[in-house]
RNA sequence: CGGGACGUAGCGUAGCUUGGUAGCGCGCUUGGUUCGGGUCCAAGAGGUCGUGAGUUCAAAUCUCACCGUCCCGACCA
């Protein structure tokens, strides 16, 4: 490709609405342009990178035995109602109506469609295992699109769905995808690692996310350097000790605490009740029902865990009015000892199990109770791990201190089980002649997000530093004079033609611009290798090879081609 | 959905407090100049000042509404 015939609108300055580095570089390097919030046009160079990543994913999916298909982006609502996600995923669904006022869904993912396919086509255990995948546009009505391609209303996703006749088979399918994902992200040049993850509205019971460490990541990851434990903060647990039992001092006496409505205030004089001796009582409304959640005063509720453990579809903190209606007091004086209606469930965090000599609200504004024993004074409905892990806590597996890091989620693998196959009737006949639901797994990669994650991780002060595997072009040939009859241009044309003939992805910067402009642009766009041809070095019969981010290397013109091939071979 | 900031030429921005001629840099066009890290000089083109209403003799500027963008939050009683 000749630069002058192409379309690479680079920018010296980044548009004001780009906040993070990778977003700015996407725009400055002329890879994408924004149409509106959360919607982007891929320009030629950006599209090339996208295709590179897609094809790399295809290679690895095919290698892992998955089979490519393409499903409709426009989907009927009835299968979404059947799976139950018309309601549970309602917030993210884009809905469209046709001329007869019938409602359709713009696909945010395709479990319903693939399971419908399986229901019709997979009749025998002999047809499994099978894994279908596609690379396609997905639509999600994000609460807040942000960071360019990181969280967009429309994005490219690779989604795969495995069908097995047994649980063991499903685990093997899961493992194949897990391994494939590791290969994919490694090949993209990304530092990445899998973490244990919550399953959210997708459902299922076993899941890993593939994370790319980045300060701008939207996820918080807990990990242990000693034993390799790693989990999303939404899922992470630690080996932190339970609350120490004490000699109990009394039997839950009420005492006045006028104006005290926070854990912190109660921990100060004159009350001086340390936060770790307080029970924090939260009222949530889960699927329209009030629920009490008990957490130790110095801990934080992990809402994701709460949702996962209770199976609630939606939950929110109760309003002060709802708190008063349920318990007779406003937030700040709430507790689970007195005046709790029998219909209200009390969920307690495991860390409080067996705790005594605790202080909590009395369900009377301005009063608390001291010397409370959980076992004796509170009718806990269920115990769960509900707290949020913090950095430095001992690892549950090896007791070494846990660390925390922000990361970008680029892939997610789920073991789904039979949730969708049962609801959408994907049953098969097993060897014993019995009808059973397919055991499913699903596996997603955010392709467009991965592209931006690479930029977020691979850059320097001058611009993007593409890993060869995903670079829009491998080589940029840069003649420093473009007059047709010049020796410089003739050599540039020759090298360009030879590389093209050899199948190397090469761009010839034939623009009549000053060298500085070309160098800046080449650095900004981030081609892995720049081959510069100028009068000075050519006078010595030399051309210049400059790996992006590396040092200049002068080579004899006649050796240039071999050197370029050697460079590319070493990088791939 | 709540809070905050912002909306002036393709991009980045000044002007708004104190109402009166819309300015700068980049980019773009033309001519010259320069030619190994975003040359320099000169001359140009390009703006419904987000939209609509209001106040006023007069609105980019003040008021209100709406639209859009970005950030934070939508958990901690």
pLDDT of A325: 86
Number of domains making up chain A: 3
| Residue at shortest CA–C1' distance from B1 | A143
Query: Which strand B nucleotides have any atom less than 7 A from protein CB atoms?
Result: 1, 11-13, 25-27, 34-39, 68-77
The yes-or-no verdict on residue A63 having pLDDT over 90 is yes
**What is this model's ipTM?**
0.93
Query: Residue A540 belongs to a domain with what CATH number?
Result: 3.40.50.800
Provide the CA A17 to C1' B3 distance, Å, integer: 19
Query: In A62-173, where do the E strands start and end?
Result: 67-68, 74-76, 94-97, 103-106, 130-139, 154-164
Which residues span the domain enclosing A433?
A: 17-72+107-231+405-455
Which tokens is A432 given? 């014993």
pLDDT tens digits, A90-143:
888 999 889 999 999 999 999 999 999 999 999 999 999 999 999 999 999 988
pLDDT tens digits, A366-424:
999 999 999 999 999 999 999 999 999 999 999 999 999 999 999 999 999 999 999 99
Identify whether residues A283 and A207 lie together within a single domain.
no
Provide the CA A37 to C1' B56 distance, Å, integer: 38
Identify whether residues A302 and A153 lie together within a single domain.
no
**Residue A522: nearest nucleotide (C-alpha to C1'):** B37
Identify whether residues A121 and A186 lie together within a single domain.
yes
Q: What is the mean pLDDT of chain A?
A: 93
pLDDT of A331: 86
**Residue A143: nearest nucleotide (C-alpha to C1'):** B1
Question: Which one of A384, A416, A431 terminates a domain?
Answer: A384
For residue A4, tell me if it sits in a domain.
no
What lies within 8 Å, CB to CB, of A504 at 6+ separation is: A474, A475, A564, A565, A568
For residue A433, tell me if it sits in a domain.
yes
**Residue A315: nearest nucleotide (C-alpha to C1'):** B75
Identify whether residues A448 and A478 lie together within a single domain.
no
pLDDT of A123: 97
In which band, very low, low, confident or very high, does the pLDDT at A308 lie, cut at 50, 70 and 90? confident
Provide the CA A9 to C1' B47 distance, Å, integer: 23
pLDDT of A203: 60
> What percent of chain A stands above pLDDT 90?
77
The yes-or-no verdict on residue A553 having pLDDT over 90 is yes
State how far the Cα of A9 lies from the Cα of A13, in Å rounded to an integer: 12
Identify whether residues A376 and A426 lie together within a single domain.
no
| Residue at shortest CA–C1' distance from B12 | A13
For residue A244, tell me if it sits in a domain.
no
pLDDT tens digits, A202-227:
666 689 999 999 988 989 999 999 99
pLDDT of A204: 62
For residue A389, tell me if it sits in a domain.
no
The yes-or-no verdict on residue A249 having pLDDT over 70 is no
Provide the CA A199 to C1' B62 distance, Å, integer: 53
**Residue A281: nearest nucleotide (C-alpha to C1'):** B77
Q: Are A20 and A147 in contact (CB under 8 A)?
A: yes
Identify whether residues A166 and A270 lie together within a single domain.
no
The yes-or-no verdict on residue A16 having pLDDT over 80 is yes
Identify whether residues A434 and A550 lie together within a single domain.
no
For residue A529, tell me if it sits in a domain.
yes
pLDDT tens digits, A159-196:
999 999 999 999 999 999 999 999 999 999 999 999 99
Q: A311 burial class (0-12, 13-18, 19+ CB within 10 angstroms)?
A: exposed
For residue A51, tell me if it sits in a domain.
yes
**Which 3 state secondary structure label does DSSP give A159?**
strand
**Residue A335: nearest nucleotide (C-alpha to C1'):** B77
Provide the CA A515 to C1' B38 distance, Å, integer: 9
Provide the CA A542 to C1' B32 distance, Å, integer: 33
Q: Are A336 and A279 in contact (CB under 8 A)?
A: yes
**Residue A300: nearest nucleotide (C-alpha to C1'):** B76
What average pLDDT score do residues A289-301 get? Answer: 90
Residues linked to residue A384 through DSSP beta bridges, in sequence order:
A349
Provide the CA A307 to C1' B54 distance, Å, integer: 50
Provide the CA A16 to C1' B60 distance, Å, integer: 20
pLDDT tens digits, A50-61:
999 999 999 999
Identify whether residues A449 and A363 lie together within a single domain.
no
Query: Residue A293 belongs to a domain with what CATH number?
Result: 3.90.960.10
């Amino acid at each position: 490709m000749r630069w002058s015939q192409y379309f690479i609108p680079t920018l010296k300055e980044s548009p004001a609405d780009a906040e993070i580095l990778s977003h700015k570089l996407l725009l400055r390097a002329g890879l994408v342009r924004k149409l509106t919030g959360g919607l982007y046009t891929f320009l030629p160079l950006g599209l090339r990178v996208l295709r590179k990543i897609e094809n790399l994913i295809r290679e690895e999916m095919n290698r892992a035995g998955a089979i490519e298909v393409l499903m409709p982006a426009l989907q009927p609502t009835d299968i979404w109602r059947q799976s139950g996600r018309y309601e549970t995923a309602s917030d993210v669904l884009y809905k469209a109506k046709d001329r007869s006022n019938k409602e359709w869904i713009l696909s945010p993912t395709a479990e319903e469609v693939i399971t419908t396919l399986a229901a019709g086509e997979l009749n025998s255990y002999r047809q499994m295992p099978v894994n279908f995948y596609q690379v396609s546009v997905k639509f999600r009505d994000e609460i807040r699109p942000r960071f360019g391609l990181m969280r967009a209303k429309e994005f490219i996703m690779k989604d795969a769905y495995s069908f097995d006749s047994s649980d063991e088979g499903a685990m093997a399918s899961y493992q194949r995808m897990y391994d494939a994902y590791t290969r994919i992200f490694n090949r993209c040049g990304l530092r990445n690692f899998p973490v244990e993850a919550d399953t959210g509205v997708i459902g299922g019971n076993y899941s890993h996310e593939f994370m790319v460490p980045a300060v701008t990541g939207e996820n918080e990851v807990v990990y242990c350097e000693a034993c390799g434990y790693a989990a999303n903060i939404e899922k992470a647990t630690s080996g932190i000790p339970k609350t120490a039992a004490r000699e109990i001092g009394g039997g839950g006496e009420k005492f006045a605490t006028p104006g005290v409505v926070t854990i912190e205030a109660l921990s100060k004089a004159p009350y001086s009740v340390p936060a770790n001796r307080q029970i924090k009582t939260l009222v949530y409304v889960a699927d329209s029902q009030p629920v009490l959640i008990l957490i130790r005063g110095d801990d934080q509720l992990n809402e994701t865990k709460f949702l996962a453990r209770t199976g609630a579809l939606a939950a929110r903190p109760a309003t002060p009015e709802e708190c008063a209606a349920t318990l007779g007091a406003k937030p700040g004086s709430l507790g689970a000892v007195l005046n709790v209606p029998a219909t209200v469930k009390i969920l307690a965090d495991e860390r409080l199990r067996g705790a005594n000599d605790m202080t909590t609200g009395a369900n009377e504004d301005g009063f608390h109770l001291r010397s409370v024993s959980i076992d004796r004074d509170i009718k806990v409905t269920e115990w769960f791990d509900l707290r949020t892990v913090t950095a430095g806590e001992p690892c549950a597996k090896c007791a070494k201190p846990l660390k925390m890091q922000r990361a970008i989620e680029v892939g997610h693998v789920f073991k789904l089980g039979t949730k969708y196959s049962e609801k959408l009737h994907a049953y098969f006949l097993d060897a014993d002649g019995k009808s059973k639901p397919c055991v499913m797994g699903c596996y997603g990669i955010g392709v467009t997000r991965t592209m931006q994650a690479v930029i977020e991780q691979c850059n320097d002060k001058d611009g993007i530093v593409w890993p060869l595997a995903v670079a829009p072009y491998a080589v940029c040939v840069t003649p420093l004079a473009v007059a047709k009859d010049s020796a410089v241009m003739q050599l540039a044309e020759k090298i360009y033609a030879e590389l093209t003939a050899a199948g190397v992805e090469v761009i010839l910067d034939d623009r009549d611009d000053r060298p500085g402009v070309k160098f800046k642009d080449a650095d900004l766009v981030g081609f892995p290798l720049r081959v510069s041809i100028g009068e000075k070095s050519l006078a010595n019969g030399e051309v210049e090879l400059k790996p992006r981010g590396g040092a200049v290397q002068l080579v004899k013109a006649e050796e240039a081609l071999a050197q370029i091939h050697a460079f590319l071979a070493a990088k791939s």
